Amino acid sequence: DSGVTQTPKHLITATGQRVTLRCSPRSGDLSVYWYQQSLDQGLQFLIQYYNGEERAKGNILERFSAQQFPDLHSELNLSSLELGDSALYFCASSVVGDSYGSYNEQFFGPGTRLTVL
């Protein structure tokens, strides 16, 4: 158990809908990362938050957004869902997450499996 929790475990929805994925980082970790894993693309970085502020963006679609709250939990919002958005979505956390800290190991949650029908 990495200490990172994600809810829900599974999500089945229809095209055009909007969903919210939730992540709670390990106790003491300030950075939260979101990744998408699909069969053809592998694990792809979406976005990073550090202590409530957006730190970095990957190839995240404009239909996707995220935020990190004062208690450090994070939510990933996916809207206008398409069939191609079906994937595993992982949240990871680390103590700091930048080059000024030594504690860059990222610990992953169990993931949310999203199925868009």
Sorted by sequence, the CB contacts under 8 Å of residue 112 that are 6+ apart come out as 6, 7, 8, 9, 10, 11, 21, 88, 89
Distance, C-alpha 22 to centroid of its chain? 8
In this complex, which beta carbon is closest to other proteins, that of residue 18 or of residue 43? 43
Q: How far is the CB of 107 from other proteins (least distance, A)?
A: 6
16: left (phi over 0), alpha (psi -120 to 50) or beta: left
Considering the complex, state which of residue 43 and residue 117 has its C-beta at the smaller distance from other proteins.
Answer: 43
How many residues sit close enough to other proteins to count as binding (CB under 8 A)? 30
Q: Is 93 in the site for other proteins (CB under 8 A)?
A: no
* CB 17 within 8 Å of CB 24: no
How far apart CA 108 and CA 93 sit, in angstroms, is 7
Site string for other proteins, 20-59 (x = CB under 8 A): -------------x-x------xxxx--x------xx-x-
Whichever of 19 and 106 has its CB closer to other proteins, that residue is 106
Q: Which residues bind other proteins (CB under 8 A)?
A: 2, 4, 33, 35, 42-45, 48, 55-56, 58, 88, 90, 92, 96-101, 104-111, 113
